[in-house]
Structure 1
Amino acid sequence: MNTPSNTSDEFHMGWLLFALAMGAFAIGTTEFASMTLLPFIANDFQTTQPLTGHAISAYALGVVVGSPVIMVLGVRLPRRALLVGLAAFIGVANALSAVAPSLPWLVFFRFLSGFPHGAYFGVAMLLAASLVPKNQRAQAVSRVFMGLTIATIIGVPFATWIGQTVGWRWGMAIVAVLAAITALLIRSLAPASPAQADASPLRELNALRSRQVWLTLGIAGIGFGGIFCVYTYLAATLIEVTHASDLMIPVVMAVFGLGTTVGNLVCGWAADRATMRAAGISLGFTALVLALYPSSTDNLWLLIPLVFFIGCGVGLAAILQTRLMDVAPHAQSLAGALVQSAFNLANAIGPWVGGIVIAAGFGLPATGYAAAALTLGGLGMWYWAVTDARRAALRFTSDAANQA
């Protein structure tokens, strides 16, 4: 492990973390802005919002499929080369999304856009964590992830405003430019270190034998779905239920982004001290806020603080990313990508569940109740993971005592 030894090293690492965070910023903008732009995309292609939501689910499924595939096949590549290639992939796929001639083509290009998402985060966060002492890993991970949270403050509202004034396609084009800049910065700043000599696809896949790995992924895949269930239809809720002006939509999205940034910083700090306890508190708090969401949707000034607190729940990502580093120590590349797959499985489940609720006639506000149920499901997975870890620790202690 390398740690900065002087001011020059710290300065260089700061710029490297900035470059890695810029890639996260591009990813966050394209992922979340596609949700806020949903009404405008549907209008452009003259189709319904639930049907247009398939483009969002396609992106998420691209992450689910692409992350493990890329990480297993690219495990022997140097991290710098892999990150540059992934950033370039993101740029090309988003450029294609910007010129999609029809909804089916957009769905396909969104699938491609999601393909490098998890692998980029997995490699970038591992690189960041390798530069700091062990007790600062979660904070280093959160600094990279902060690029995504800042995207929800600046990138998503800006892309939403662009979508309203010029057209949603320009939002995708901006992401392509950001990804190209990211590739150049990483090429210039990341160390040209070789891949690990003992790295192999089989070794990475061995991580899948661990029940704790699967339980952690389950927490992400189910529990995180609640946030996406509400966020996907938030713009539509603001327009059709809250009757807010179009200008308020980017403002509310920025409030959500402020919540994600605060939650990310707090959860990164908490995860370095008590990882699983922080996860449980985060899930319980988010479930409560989501349950309150439906009763606030007809009042903008009640809705705004709740949107902020819902955004705080995104901090769970830094916690679970750190947890996977602990439970899969010999397969951290795959583990880092798999947690992104799990989050984006949640990104597919959340809009799908929300669409079912809306199509069944329960209305846009009812997505909050469905979201709370999903988050409580993640809390159940968390409880299972905690009790399983305790039992394993007791068995280990008992076996050690018997051997003595």
Structure 2
Amino acid sequence: MKKELLPLAIGGFGIGMTEFVIMGVLPDIATTLHISIPVAGHLIASYALGVVLGAPLLVGIAGNYPPKKILLGLMGLFTVFNVLSAFAPTYEIMMLTRLLSGLPHGAFFGVGAVVASRLAGKGKEAQAISMMFAGLTVANIIGVPLGTYIGHNLSWRITFVIIALVGLITMFCIQKLLPVLPVVGESNLRKDLKLFTRAEPWLILGITAIGTGGLFAWFSYIAPLLTEVAHFSSDQITWILVLAGVGMAVGNLISGRTADLISPVKATALFLLLMAVCLMTVYFVAPFKVPLLVMTFITGAVAFSLGAPIQILMIRAANGSEMLASSVSQAGFNIGNALGAYLGGLPIAAGLGYASPEWVGAALAFSGFLLAVVIYFRQKNVTATVEQIAEEDLTHYELAAGH
């Protein structure tokens, strides 16, 4: 990893930890704040709402500043809001601080992806972006289990203080290691919003929200799948989640190289199709412990292979509005989080069992695959048209030269 990308990876670690650790310490927060676990679950939705609101809002406000200053400001907000979460005295204040904690999430990854692509060598943009997302995968391997353990055995408030310390470390590394990159063009929110007058950004956002919903339909209900269907003990869940996290880390590394090798749109379509196959396989092997463990690793790898290719797709479709487009893409991932969790829960509520969300996830992933195929043919037609125009121009030039 280039040292310039290290601050982005550390920031990704902190963001991944604050996003996912709350799922592990939810019972502890509920006990401290004297609320039920379902009510405490609203804190997860509050964070996701913050991501969706903050991604376009903060980038729109800060778009004319150099990327380094934007990243420092975003991580400063992240640090402050996580400290406030650590000391929140009531449920209502915790809801507010979680909403505020989510605001920098999408903007940081969005601006970070643009910075990573600008720091990368030619043809290695997706690999550079995958290094930023590597921090997110490491958070699932180390940060979330550690934060959950501390939350259970000491205090969940200490967990959020640790997250804030990661924010401070990220700010230090941004200041010391990240070069000063110039502002490319003048940002104007009204101009940037014209991005969404074209079809391709909407198609990419659809892939992000619908296709990655397949990941969350599986992952949101992985604990009851493991305990109620495969009959693992509850004490084994943490280590199985670590296995899934290792798979995600491996998949993230594969994704960047694949997207640079075969093109982002082909990589996106490939990984979505593989995700649909993996989720259907999970359904059939769910009662068997060893095959389910193998598929937990593989599904984690395939699902997390989508991050870098989708981000590159959106950046290339941005046409001068890269930071806004990249940030909105992150909001799309959180819409996928909510969509996958909600739709995946419907068959469970209907009494179809804890393996039934895999069919929902497979359908969402396959729908994302179909959208990726549409983008592929649109890009192919555009390329063919450009080549035809260039050939006609050359023919006219040769005819004119002949006269």
Do the two structures share a fold, i.e. TM-score over 0.5?
Answer: yes
**In structure 2, which of residues 79, 83, 100 is the aligned counterpart of residue 95 of structure 1?**
83
SS at 2:2's partner residue? helix
Alignment of 1:28-107 (within 5 A): 28-38=16-26, 40-41=28-29, 45-49=34-38, 51-107=39-95
Q: Structure 1 residue runs of 4+, over 6 Å off?
A: none
Match runs of 1:16-27 below 5 Å: 16-27=4-15
| TM-score, normalised with respect to structure 1 | 0.89
> 1:217 is matched by which residue type in structure 2?
L
Amino acid of the structure 1 residue aligned with 2:342: W
Q: Equivalent residue for 2:153?
A: 165
Pairing partner for 1:256 from 229, 241, 244: 244
Aligned counterparts, 1:282-361, within 5 A = 282-312=271-301, 313-361=303-351
TM-score, with structure 2 as normaliser: 0.89
Pair 1:238 & 2:232 matched: no
Which residue in 2 is equivalent to 1:142? Answer: 130
Q: 1:268 to 1:65 in 2, by over 3 A?
A: same
Which stretch shows the higher mean deviation, 66-75 or 394-403? Answer: 394-403
Listed one character per residue, the Cα deviations across residues 129-187 of structure 1 (whole Å, up to 9, x for unaligned) are 21222201111111111111111111122122223323444333321111121112212
Which amino acid is the alignment partner of residue 218 of structure 1?
A: G
**What are the superposed Cα offsets for residues 55-104 of structure 1, whole Å, 9 maximum, x if unpaired?**
22222221111101111111111211111111111122222333344544
Quick check: which has more Rg, 1 or 2? 2
Please tell me the residue identity of whatever aligns with 1:300.
Answer: K
The 1:103/1:290 distance shift into structure 2, 3 A limit, reads: farther
Match of 2:109 in 1: 121
Correspondence 1:370 to 2:360: yes
Instruction: Provide closer, same or farther for how the CA distance between residues 14 and 396 of structure 1 changes in structure 2, counting only shifts above 3 A.
Output: closer
Structure 1 residues 98 and 300: alpha-carbon distance in aligned structure 2, compared to 1, 3 A threshold: farther
Q: 2:187 aligns with which of 199, 202, 210?
A: 199
In the other structure, the counterpart of 2:401 is: none
Equivalence for 1:392? 382
Instruction: Please state if 1:226 is matched with 2:206.
Output: no
1:281 paired residue among 260, 270, 273: 270
What is the aligned partner in structure 1 of residue 371 from structure 2?
A: 381
**Contact 1:228/1:350 (8 A) holds in 2:** yes
In 2, are the aligned partners of 1:286 and 1:309 still within 8 Å (CA)? no
Alpha-carbon separation, structure 2, partners of 1:81 and 1:361: 51
Partner SS state of residue 116, structure 1? helix
Residue in 2 that maps onto 1:184 = 172
Residues 32/26 of structure 1: CA separation in 2 closer, same or farther (3 Å cut): same
Structure 2 residue matching 1:135: 3-state secondary structure: coil
Residues 398 and 16 (structure 1 numbering): CA distance in 2 closer, same or farther, change over 3 Å?
closer
Query: Given that residues 241 and 297 in structure 1 are in contact (C-alpha distance below 8 angstroms), is that contact kept between their aligned partners in structure 2?
Result: yes
Distance change in 2, residues 1:393/1:15 (3 Å): closer
In 2, distance between residues paired with 1:85 and 1:399?
Answer: 46
- Residue number among 155, 172, 178 corresponding to 2:143 in the alignment: 155
Q: Are the counterparts in 1 of residues 5 and 178 from structure 2 also a CA contact under 8 Å?
A: no
Q: Measured at CA, do residues 194 and 60 of structure 1 come closer, stay the same or move farther in structure 2, by a change above 3 Å?
A: same
Does the 8 A contact of 2:266 with 2:376 survive in 1? no
Identical pairs, percent: 35
Aligned counterpart, 1:6:
none
Distance 1:150 1:163, change over 3 A: same
- Please tell me whether the aligned partners of residues 268 and 306 of structure 2 are also in contact (alpha carbons under 8 angstroms): yes
Whole-angstrom CA distance in 2 between matches of 1:362 and 1:163: 33
**Distance across 1 between alignment mates of 2:360 and 2:125:** 34
Structure 1 distance, partners of 2:350, 2:28, is 23
- What is the root-mean-square deviation of aligned Cα atoms in Å? 2.4
Change (3 A) 1:309 1:210: same
Q: Specify the code of the residue in structure 2 equivalent to 1:384.
A: V
Distance of aligned partners of 1:357 and 1:42 in 2 relative to their CA distance in 1, 3 Å threshold = farther
Counterpart of 2:297, as a letter, is F
Task: Mark the CA change 1:107 to 1:373 in structure 2 (over 3 Å): closer, same or farther.
Answer: farther
Residues 17-46 of structure 1: per-residue CA shift (max 9 Å, x gap): 112110000111112222344455456655
Structure 2 counterpart of 1:356, one-letter code: L
| Structure 1 residue matching 2:7: 3-state secondary structure | helix
1:132 aligns with 2:132: no
1:378 Cα deviation from its structure 2 partner: 1.0
Instruction: Report the secondary structure of 1:286's partner residue.
Output: helix
Unaligned runs of 5+ in 1: 1-12
Give the Cα–Cα distance (whole angstroms) in 2 for the partners of residues 161 and 73 of structure 1. Answer: 38
Matches of 1:61 and 1:200, distance apart in 2? 24
Q: Distance in 1 between matches of 2:344 and 2:29?
A: 18
What residue ranges of structure 2 are gaps of 5+ in the alignment? 397-403
